[in-house]
């Protein structure tokens, strides 16, 4: 019998050991383990995308939101394309900011960001000229600025964050790629906050799904290897 690691796709080794879940950090006794140390606990194995995102973002030590987003998108709860990507960029950005020691970024902020991004239908890029990942960028700024519909400057900043990301996604051209949109939302938001929060620039990122998705834009995409 052979099993593969869902994270790195290497063959699992049959050896009983105590393993720590790569997503939520829970420890479990397991009969099979990945040679790279990856492990998916029973609860995370069957979790839906938002539940998995919340558990992972609350536990994660990652300071690079691109890597955190990619780990989540490798989980089978995330399909190649789909609306589950809409509520991904905001919580991973907030989780990374929290680990960077940015004041005021709480566990509650991470939960709130996921809740606010519910209900954006699939395919709105083509049908409405909108994108859930762009809304994710606006959500981060809204939460950091405590914006409301009645705010002045704070509301403007949240709108600008969404608009800036949407424009970046549009400028990339081609058919929809939810992975690219998530990466763009993260990069645009990071660039927006970098000076203010004295964040290091994100390293260049190569997409783990490059060439593996049906409509991959290959060399047209800046994240293509």
CB nearer Zn ion, residue 32 or residue 81: 32
CB nearer Zn ion, residue 44 or residue 120: 44
- Give CA 187 to chain center in angstroms: 11
d(CA 93, CA 110): 9
Identify the residue among 30, 32, 33, 34 touching Zn ion (CB under 5 A).
34
**SS3 assignment, position 192:** helix
Q: How many CB atoms lie within 10 A of CB 149?
A: 6
d(CA 147, CA 86): 20
Binders in 44-73 for Zn ion, by CB under 5 A = 44
The answer to whether 5 contacts Zn ion (rule: CB under 5 A) is yes
CB nearer Zn ion, residue 58 or residue 102: 58
∠ CA 117-100-205, rounded to 5° = 70
Binding region for Zn ion (CB under 5 A) out of 13-21, 72-80, 149-157, 184-192: 13-21
The answer to whether 24 contacts Zn ion (rule: CB under 5 A) is yes
CB nearer Zn ion, residue 7 or residue 158: 7
The answer to whether 8 contacts Zn ion (rule: CB under 5 A) is yes
Q: Are 176 and 183 in contact (CB under 8 A)?
A: no
Identify the residue among 13, 36, 167, 200 touching Zn ion (CB under 5 A).
36
Distance (Å) of CA 154 to CA 85, 134, 140, 147, 166? 25, 17, 12, 5, 19
CB nearer Zn ion, residue 24 or residue 221: 24
The answer to whether 41 contacts Zn ion (rule: CB under 5 A) is yes
Q: Which residues make up the interface to Zn ion (CB under 5 A)?
A: 5, 7-8, 21, 23-24, 26, 34, 36, 38, 41, 44
């Amino acid at each position: 019998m052979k099993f593969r690691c869902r994270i790195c796709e290497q063959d699992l080794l049959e050896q009983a050991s105590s393993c720590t879940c790569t997503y939520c950090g829970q420890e479990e006794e397991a009969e099979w383990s990945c040679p790279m140390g990856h492990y998916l606990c029973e609860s995370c194995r069957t979790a839906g995308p938002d539940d998995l995102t919340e558990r992972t973002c609350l536990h994660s030590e990652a300071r690079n939101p691109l890597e955190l987003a990619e780990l989540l998108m490798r989980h089978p709860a995330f399909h190649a394309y789909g609306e589950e990507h809409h509520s991904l960029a905001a919580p991973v950005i907030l989780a990374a900011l929290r680990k960077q020691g940015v004041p005021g970024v709480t566990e509650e902020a991470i939960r709130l960001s996921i809740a606010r991004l519910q209900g954006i239908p699939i395919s709105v890029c083509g049908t409405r000229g909108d994108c859930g990942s762009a809304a994710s960028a606006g959500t981060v700024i809204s939460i950091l600025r405590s914006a409301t519909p009645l705010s002045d400057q704070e509301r403007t900043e949240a709108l600008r964050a969404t608009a800036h990301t949407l424009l970046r996604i549009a400028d990339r051209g081609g058919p929809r790629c939810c992975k690219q949109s998530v990466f763009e939302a993260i990069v645009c938001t990071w660039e927006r906050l970098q000076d203010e929060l004295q964040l290091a620039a994100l390293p260049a990122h190569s997409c783990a799904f490059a060439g593996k998705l049906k409509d991959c834009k290959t060399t047209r995409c800046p994240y293509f290897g």
